[in-house]
Every structure is written in structure tokens, then in C-alpha cells.
Chain A
């Protein structure tokens, strides 16, 4: 009798273990374990993301706090001490900011903008795609023509346009605090169309299927049908586009910041750092450009490789 309270728990534990085991035996895990490139990419991405997330605890200096900066530390070469006697493993930039710390904090900005913008694009694109695919007719025509028009322009051009318009609408004294949100809005709005296209196609296929018809005959609210029945079945490709979109969003943020229209220069993202460093290439201070650029390349490349792998793993036809 003493072991009675345990007995109801047993099956639950068993189910969990078996679900985990099933997952480990699944095609996805199999393809992951047999793709060394993906393993390396995921480790690199994880390290960079952790480095960014835990920057306030890991970084040797706080480059976003102007009070801790000393201008006379500027242009210190990597692995050396500044005039002030402080040590900088990757050197300092023109303002005396530690390049390593600035990269860690800068990746935070880049990743935050990248994730938020992709999420925004995903929610918007999936929502509109579901509506277009499920309702069809005039709604489909309007949404998809807008998407077509947008897809015919490079995303960065649209992001610049949205950024400019948004900046024009915000009063000058609030522009700096709003800059990061405007950036997310601009990149998000520039990238929703791919999601909408994919989801629309998948939804059109799903709505012909019997389970949807059955739900409809039962009188289920179309909104519930879309959310509970159709959505889970179209999410596979969305995740793939989302991962690749994340890499693109990070690059777009870097491009905008490189062009000088992104976040304030006192809180540099990777793109801002590259813009600053680019001025000093000829004069020999290569480290200001090189380290942020390498970080950006590694980040974008590893996320992109993960996206590619996910696409292959989820697409039975490519196997």
C-alpha cells in the first residue's frame, strides 16, 4: 500500500521517456547527427547567442555606459595595454571602447532586432497567409498582390523606405529612444511577404482536406479552424523560412546600421561597429573592423546553415 501513490505516476514517466526516445530516433535527429556542418553551425550559433545574452556578466567592460569610457584608451591594439594601463584583448575603437565587450553588447542589439523583426514578420505573414489561403477570393487577391509588389523590391530598400517614413512621423526628441523599435518595424514589414506566400499555399491545400470540411460541417468558428487545425499543419515550412529569415534580418539590421540609419552610435550594433571600423582600414587599425565583421559573418552563416539543414530535414522530397 505504501507504493500506491507512485503507481499513477509510472505511466507518465514512461510516456515522457518514450517520447524523448522517439524524438531521438526521429529523422530530424538522425539527419542532425549525420551532418557535421550542422553540428558545428549550431555550436557556433549557440556560443554567439549565449555570449550576447549573458554579455552584462561576461563582458570585461560595459561599453554602453559612457561614464566608464576613457577617450585616451582609444585605438589600443589587440592584446595590449592602453596608455591608461588597462588591458584589451581585442583592442579598442576610436572612442576607447573595448572591442570584445562592444561586440558582445552589439550582438545583443543585432540579435534582439533580428529575433523581434522575424517574429513580427512571421506573425503578420502567417496571419495574412492563413486569411488569404482560407478565405480566397478578393481577400486573397488583395493580400497576394501587395505581397507580389513587395517581393519585387529588395527587402533592404523597403526597410529603408519604412524607416524614413517612420522617422518622419516621430518627433525629433523621441527618435533616439524609438530607433530600435522603428528598426524592428521596418525589417519586419519588409519580410512578411515570404511567410504569407508559403502559408497561403499550404493553407489552400489543407482546406480541401476532410478534417477541415468535417470541422466546418460541425459549425466550428472559421477562426478556430484556422488556429487549431490548419495552423499546426502549415508550421513546418514557416519554421524553415523563419530560421533563414533570422539570418536575413540580422544582415538587414547590420546594413541599415552600416548606412547610419540604425541605432544610436553610443549603443552600437554589429553594423554600426563595422561602419565605424571601416573608416580606419587605411590607417592600419584593422581590428576595429575585422572582429565585428567576423562575428557578423559567423552569426549569419551559422543561422543560415541551420535554416538550410532544417529545410532539408523537413522536406522528404529532398532526401
Chain B
């Protein structure tokens, strides 16, 4: 019985593979969710960008090693004699899907649109003062001061056609939060390798190869994009041959897929760190039985919590080996990461209890831990495990688990005492982390400094990173900041995520560190 079943399965798998090879040019690509919108500047969100990268293009790209690569811009440099201006040389002969030429005025229009009031990409262009077209294929970006790392910020800012945008009245960015919609939400006109041929939101989108694309002709000429929210259904679709590539693979299924004939799993580190954050300040916590002080404001408590956290156990059991435990809140791809910072202490329950007693909480205390349950890999399970670990040192944590859409407002509204969050670093530089997570909360900085940590000395150093042109000196400052952040235990990092893509055995799709794979990089085995 067993063998005959296996035989039937093998024949089935073999037949699907044969069918696959016969139509090697179409790839059916499943993910957990759909792009939120097709308006290129409306949502700074990974899934949305990944889809859009197939239709629209950016000035610069990023390869799987995390290096900047030329895309619509072929060269980029600081203007000679003026270190506040970046010069981008554009690729010539590029055409939009509707046949219009791609020129400097489109870049000016797109960058202005991306940094306009309603854009969700504007924080990446906050230091831009003006964008000028010098000639048809040269653009100058005037910064407010020297910004040596600005090119890192343009890898998700897509280029639109000025004429098309004006004709369809989409000069303004769609206000996604207000539920607004415009022509560009469902219609596209990019320069990218694929054109949108049909779109059913949350169901199915079809992209076909753009014959006039400037790049090398990819192996995939048609993409069928299928959002399948349920993990088990998504994997079942791959196993039954209904899809060819699954981008979001649950960690518990990796091993099984690796052992299934006809399928393979590509894994690789993602440029994203998962961490717990504390509420700082003298004010007592909202959810604690301690009503006259804030335990988290005491460095001894933060040290005790770090010693309670068993990162290796989380890696082995919750993540099934698919994570990289870390002692610093930055992924290894990022400028500023060092092996020394990455070290983390072994868990020590006895010492943690002593520290709590020393801090004045010999009986521990109670607190609510806020966690998302659908955003990061096994986010809720990580938090549940941490609740258990805290329980062992006497901290009685209640878990408040919510979908990310509910978790975000709680976090950003500062209504949390202890929370889990993940942080990706699209600029591959520590400054991006410091600006949002470490700098005191102001209008322009500290957006995700949810706990209200504030260290004026660090703030000054962080601001200096934005305009420091001497890279050695700048790296020195970054190292100094990390030393304080790690020594002060501002954040409690858990691990860096590992990504897994599952696919038919004859397909090769390398893991992209920003989780933005391109179907142009797909290769088929003979």
C-alpha cells in the first residue's frame, strides 16, 4: 500500500514537472498577501514594492548581496565642487509601456511626487531640497546639506511617466489611509520588464513580458501572481502543482518541503531584526501592578530580562533553526554591524532573579506584552515563549496578540509598555535604525522610538551622521552610538529573520535580503 501510494505520488509529481517544463515561460507565484495598491508612492510596504518592482523601475536597484546596482540610472556621483548635489545619469532609449520615452523630466516629476505631502515615501527624501533636469538624461538632486548616503534611499522610489500621470489625473499620491482611490491604483504605466494584463485584487494578477524592455530577456515571460493567505493552503497549492513558487514559507514546513521529491527550498538571511522594546521614563507603566515607578527604566531590570531570554531555544524550537540569534538590533548586512556587537549573553535565570531583587522587585511585577500575530515569522509564538521565560524570573506577563493592523496603532500611539517589533533596513546603514528607533521622539526623528528613550548626547551624534562626509569618521560615530545602545540595553534584540522560498525543483530563485525577489532572476533547469 505504502509503496503503491508513493509510486502514484511519484508519477503525479513527474507529470506536473513535465507539464511545467513544456510551458517554462509562465510562473505561478504565490504569496501570503497582495500588493496594497499599485500607486507607486502610496505605501512604503514590502509586499507592495515587490510586486511593483516588476512593473515600475527605480533609479538604482539592489542585488541579492545587498549592493547598489544601476537600473534606470547608469551612473551616480556627487557633483564636482558641490558636495550637496547628487548627479544621476539616466539610461537612454528606455520606453514606458505606452511607448513614451523615459527622460529626465519624468524623474523630476516622480521624485517630486514621491516627496510630496501625501506620499508614503517622503521620509526617504526628507533631505532633498530640489530636483532639476540638466538635460534629457541628467538629473541633479539638490540636498539640504551633504548627504553621502542618499543613493541608498532611492531603491524603492519608482519612476512614473509625467504625461501619462497628467493625462490620468494622478499627479497627487493616493491617500491610502483615507480609503481614497485613483486611476493609478489599478492601472500602470512603468518601464519595467512586465506589463500588467489583468488584476483582481487579492485573487489573481497576470503580468506579461514587455518586449521593449531594455534588459536581457528573462526566462519568465508571464507571471501569474496569486495571494493565498492561509499557510497550509499555500503550501498545499505548491505540492499539488497549482503554483510554482511560494514566497512566504512557514518555518515548520521547510524541512518537509526539502524532503519532498520535486520541490526545493531556498533559504537566506533577511535584512530584518526582531526585537522587544521597553517603555522608558519615570512614569509608571500602564499595565503593571507597580504603580509608583517604571521597572523598565532601571537598567538592572533590562539586564535581568536579557538574561531571561533564551535566544537559542527560540531559534531551535520556535523557528526550527531558521533564524540567526543576535545580540544587537541590526542585521549583519548593515554598515555598522560587527561580530563583537552580535554577541549575546547565555541565559541565566538565577542571576536574573538576583538582578530583579537588587533593582527592588524581589517578587517581580506584572506587565502586558503587545505582539503582532501576522507580520513576522512566528511572531506570536516568539512572544508566547518570551512570556514563559519572563515567568521563570518572576515577571508575570500577559500577552496581547493582535493583527499588525491593530498592533501598529497601539505601538505608534505609545500605548504599550513592552512590545515586539521587526525592523528592516532598506538603506543598509545604521543611521536608518538610529533615526527611527533611538533618536528622541520629534517631528522628523524617532518615529518608532515607541518607548520614549531619550539621550541628548546620542541625538547629537545621530544628527551628525546625516551630513558627515568623512566616511571613516562617520563609521567611528556609528560604532560609538552602538556601544551606548547595546550597553544601555535600549532594545532587546532576539534574532534576524531567515527567509525561505519554496519552488518546483527545476526552478531557481535566489533569496533576496529585502524579501523582494524579481521574477527576471528566475532560471529553469533543462
Contacts and interface: CB of A to CB of B under 8 A. Distances in A.
23 contacts: A65-B391, A66-B388, A66-B391, A70-B388, A71-B310, A71-B314, A71-B388, A75-B317, A95-B388, A172-B410, A172-B416, A173-B286, A176-B398, A260-B403, A264-B398, A265-B373, A265-B384, A266-B387, A279-B250, A282-B235, A282-B253, A283-B252, A285-B252
Contact of B381 (A95, A173, A177, A260): A95
Nearest to A95: B384
A283 B255 contact: yes
A175 B400 contact: yes
Interface of B: 231-232, 235-236, 250, 252-253, 255-256, 286-287, 310, 313-314, 316-318, 368, 370, 373, 380-381, 384-385, 387-392, 394, 397-401, 403, 410, 415-416
B368 A66 contact: no
Interface in A271-287: 278-285
A284 B389 CA distance: 27
Nearest to A175: B400
A282 B415 contact: no
A238 to B, nearest CB: 37
A72 B368 contact: no
Given A69-B391, A71-B314, A264-B401, A176 B385 contact: no
Contacts of B388: 66-67, 69-71, 95-96
Contact of A282 (B256, B394, B397, B416): B256
Interface of A, secondary structure class, is: loop
A172 B387 contact: no
Interface of A: 65-72, 74-75, 94-96, 171-173, 175-177, 260, 264-266, 278-285
Contact of A172 (B231, B381, B397, B415): B415
Contacts of A67: 388, 391-392, 394
A175 B400 CA distance: 8
B402 to A, nearest CB: 8
Contacts of B401: 260, 264-265
Given A66-B387, A71-B385, A279-B232, 9 more contacts: A71-B314, A94-B317, A172-B416, A173-B400, A264-B400, A265-B401, A279-B250, A280-B252, A281-B232
A173 B368 contact: yes
Contacts of A283: 252-253, 255-256
Contacts of B415: 171-173
Contacts of B286: 173
B391 A279 contact: no
Contacts of B310: 71
A68 B316 CA distance: 19
A57 to B, nearest CB: 22
A276 B391 CA distance: 21
